[in-house]
């Protein structure tokens, strides 16, 4: 019965996506970041929900292009050109990388990762064509908030119900299917989700006129931080700390920085737990910490890969396979997004990744300047909240990416969608913005 109900919902969303692709885009990303097939795997067994929604969304975008209803100025931006360059370098490394093979020690083969990247980039470019007004941005933002709220509930319920089977040596893992498959099977990845999702919860609450709804949303934030503590992820802890500092910096009440940081520290001392505290205390003692030592070893091996193969890298998704050939160690990931991109796909991919980051913050600053000039209008306040949420989230994500390989992490691309659309709408460079400024 439940499967029939889910199938009906998927059919309705897919049908809507044919006429309004932005609905399909938001639904696709909602399914991607929530992972309902891992939470309620028994109901989703045999249902290819994400695939079906994605296909109908692509068809909807194609119909929009044929009917001349797409504003291509949202596609022809500097940010998207660099994203395209990154895709080309990843593609070249897959076909010409010296260590690309049909197997991988990391679980997914290069061909599977290449297929995944193609899906990510195709959906991204379709998204920037479809997410081009405040309605679509609002819908996508709500998708992130709902997913964050539910996974916050899920994470805390595992602890309070003492479901220790979801803990790996005391560290909470994300929801997983019986065979172990999940985007959040790794504790650090699960922590990163909360780092990127909680800023959207905060800024959505900030825009609520009803105080009860606002504080109800804000009540999710400490529980989300508690979920990070449960994962025992030091990268997640640093990421949420960076996100908090960015939020304070972007606020008009910077004098509250010290009290906020004090409250955050007291909350950490109260709720972090023994495992989180023990792992945090040895962050600087990398000689005694195997995890930190492994990262330094992997980074050193990645540098050797770049020097040996500066153009193509060792090959897409081949870092784990190639590492023992460059340094005496066991096979493992780079544990750094920039190093993973550069060592696997060449210096060009690394430069493209850094350029994306610089363009994001340049766009965010330009959007912020526009908001300062239009802050008294409802449109200005709304755009400012979206910009702040995506910027704070992006800052936290970058902090996590220093210690994690987040190359296929789709929230990175979701944040680029926000940044790209807001920049075009605020700058007035798009046809849509010129005819209907900040279309509601």
Is there a domain that residue 307 lies in?
no
Distance (Å, whole) CA 130 – CA 137 = 10
Q: Supply the DSSP symbol for 255.
A: G
Q: Give every CB contact of residue 437 below 8 A, 6+ residues apart in sequence.
A: 379, 425, 428
Do 3 and 99 have their domain in common? no
Domain count, the chain: 2
What pLDDT sits at residue 437? 45
Is there a domain that residue 360 lies in?
yes
Distance (Å, whole) CA 105 – CA 325 = 14
Q: Which domain holds residue 364?
A: 71-284+342-435
Is there a domain that residue 327 lies in?
no
Do 89 and 159 have their domain in common? yes
Across residues 171-193, what is the average pLDDT?
85
Do 1 and 107 have their domain in common? no
68 vs 338: which has the higher pLDDT: 338
Do 157 and 34 have their domain in common? no
Q: Measure CA 341 to chain center.
A: 16
Is there a domain that residue 311 lies in?
no
pTM for this predicted structure: 0.92
Do 135 and 55 have their domain in common? no
Whether 221 and 156 have beta carbons less than 8 Å apart is answered as: no
Residues of the chain above pLDDT 70, percent: 87
Do 184 and 233 have their domain in common? yes
Across residues 39-47, what is the average pLDDT?
75
Q: Say whether pLDDT at 294 is over 90.
A: no
The tokens of 363 are what?
Answer: 């766009």
The tokens of 342 are what?
Answer: 């550069």
Is there a domain that residue 277 lies in?
yes
Q: What are the CA-CA distances from residue 103 to residues 98, 118, 320 (Å)? A: 14, 19, 11
Q: What is the pLDDT of residues 239-269, one digit of tens each?
A: 999 999 999 888 877 666 677 777 776 766 7
Helix (H, G, I), strand (E, B) or coil at 311: coil
């Amino acid at each position: 019965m439940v499967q029939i109900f889910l199938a009906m919902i998927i059919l309705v969303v897919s049908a809507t996506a044919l006429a309004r692709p932005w609905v399909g885009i938001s639904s696709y990303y909602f399914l991607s970041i929530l992972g309902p097939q891992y939470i309620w795997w028994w109901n989703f067994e045999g249902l290819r929900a994400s695939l079906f929604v994605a296909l109908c969304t692509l068809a909807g975008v194609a119909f929009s292009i044929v009917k001349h209803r797409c504003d291509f100025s949202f596609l022809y931006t500097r940010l998207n050109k660099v994203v395209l360059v990154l895709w080309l370098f990843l593609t070249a490394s897959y076909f010409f990388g010296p260590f690309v093979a049909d197997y991988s020690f990391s679980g997914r083969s290069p061909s599977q990762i290449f297929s995944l990247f193609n899906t990510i980039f195709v959906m991204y470019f379709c998204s920037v064509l479809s997410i081009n007004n405040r309605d679509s941005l609002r819908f996508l933002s709500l998708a992130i908030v709902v997913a964050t709220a539910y996974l916050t509930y899920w994470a805390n319920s595992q602890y309070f119900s003492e479901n220790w089977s979801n803990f790996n040596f005391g560290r909470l893992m994300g929801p997983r299917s019986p065979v172990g498959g999940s985007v959040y099977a790794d504790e650090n990845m699960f922590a990163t989700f909360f780092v990127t999702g909680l800023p959207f919860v905060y800024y959505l609450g900030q825009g609520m006129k009803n105080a009860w709804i606002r504080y109800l949303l804000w009540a999710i934030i400490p529980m989300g931080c508690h979920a990070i503590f449960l994962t025992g992820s030091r990268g997640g802890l640093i990421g949420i700390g960076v996100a908090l500092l960015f939020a304070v910096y972007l606020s008009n009440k910077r004098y509250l920085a010290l009290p906020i940081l004090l409250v955050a520290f007291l909350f950490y001392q109260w709720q972090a737990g023994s495992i989180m505290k023990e792992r945090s205390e040895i962050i600087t003692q990398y000689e005694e910490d195997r995890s930190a030592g492994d990262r330094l070893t992997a980074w050193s091996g990645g540098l050797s890969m770049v020097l040996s193969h500066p153009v193509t890298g060792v090959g897409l998704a081949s870092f784990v396979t190639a590492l023992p050939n460059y340094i005496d160690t066991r096979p493992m990931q780079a544990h750094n997004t920039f190093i993973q991109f550069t060592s696997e796909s060449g210096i060009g991919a690394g430069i493209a990744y850094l350029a994306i980051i610089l363009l994001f913050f340049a766009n965010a600053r330009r959007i912020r300047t526009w908001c300062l000039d239009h802050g008294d209008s409802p449109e200005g306040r709304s755009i400012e909240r979206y910009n702040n949420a995506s910027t704070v989230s992006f800052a936290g994500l970058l902090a996590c990416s220093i210690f994690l390989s987040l190359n296929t992490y789709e929230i990175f691309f979701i944040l680029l969608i926000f940044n790209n659309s807001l920049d075009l709408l605020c700058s007035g460079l798009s046809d849509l913005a010129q005819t209907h400024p900040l279309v509601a």
